[in-house]
Amino acid sequence: MPINSAANAAYDEIAQLLVPAAWPPAPEVEAGLAAHAAAHGERGLQTAVSGGQYEHREGLFYGGRNPTWSQQTLRHVRQEHATRCAWLGWIDLHTGLGPSGHGELIFACRDEARALQRARSWWGPQVTSIYDGSSASALLSGLMWTAAYQEAPQAEYTGIALEYGTLPLHEVVAALRADQWLENHPEAPAAQREAIKRQVREAFYTDTDDWKQRIVEQGVQAARQAVAGLA
């Protein structure tokens, strides 16, 4: 079963607009999404899109009905290495949200004040949270780190997601929509396939020396802070 199978009624309302039958989307499709954003705010649209859903198999952020290979692999690693530890640290690496090259430190534990305080003692007061709206990320469901509580219940768990910015959010969402449409339409012409795959890569990876250097520097710093916190 999925880690979390909560309903996402907001996604249901715009499912056909997010991944329409034809790509690029028709003007009326984009107008429908704009109307949803006007009614619910950009944050409301972001939450509807990225919050996770379990009803639309050919849609965005579909959680599935069975564990993925990655979730199973992660659980096996924890079963092998984390069943006897007293403290467990976690850094989940992501790209696609926030200013280009900036690594946002997002609290990745249950909504518990003591855990948030502990995360900020490790990584600093700049740690944000999806629970209080301080993060660039929307409130999400079905997150992988929740398995830490199940596979290592004896450990005091402290985690963050390190989210590196790339392009503006609307461009990232457009790339995700195009990629899902392509997944649903394997008959798409080769030129269109190549263009969409290039669009997705650019949405999640900035191929410049400056961007890559900033990503490495922030990642190494976060890892060192985690080791210090565990010590």
24-53 confidence digits (pLDDT tens): 999 999 999 999 999 999 999 999 999 999
Do residue 118 and residue 156 come from a single domain?
Answer: yes
Token pair 């926030």 in the structure block, residue? 98
3 found inside a domain: no
Residue 110 falls inside a structural domain: yes
Q: In this structure, is residue 222 part of a structural domain? A: yes
Does residue 21 form part of some domain? yes
**Element housing 93 (H / E):** strand 87-100
Cα 123–chain centre separation: 20
137 in a structural domain: yes
pLDDT digits (tens, 9 = 90+) for 155-165: 999 999 999 99
**Contact between 82 and 151 (Cβ < 8 Å):** yes
Can you give the pLDDT of all 231 residues of the chain as single tens digits?
344 457 899 999 999 999 999 999 999 999 999 999 999 999 999 999 999 999 999 999 998 888 889 989 999 999 999 999 999 999 999 999 999 999 999 999 999 999 999 999 999 999 999 999 999 999 887 888 999 999 999 999 999 999 999 999 999 999 999 999 999 999 999 999 999 999 999 999 999 999 999 999 999 999 999 999 999
For residue 72 the two structure tokens come to 């199973």
* 162, two tokens: 């390190």
- Structural domains in the chain (count): 2
* 105 shares its domain with 131: yes
- Shared domain for 120 and 140, answered yes or no, is yes
Q: How many C-beta neighbours within 10 Å does residue 186 have?
A: 7
Whole-structure pTM value: 0.91
Residue 195: its H or E element: helix 190-204
Range of the structural domain that residue 46 is part of: 9-63+168-204
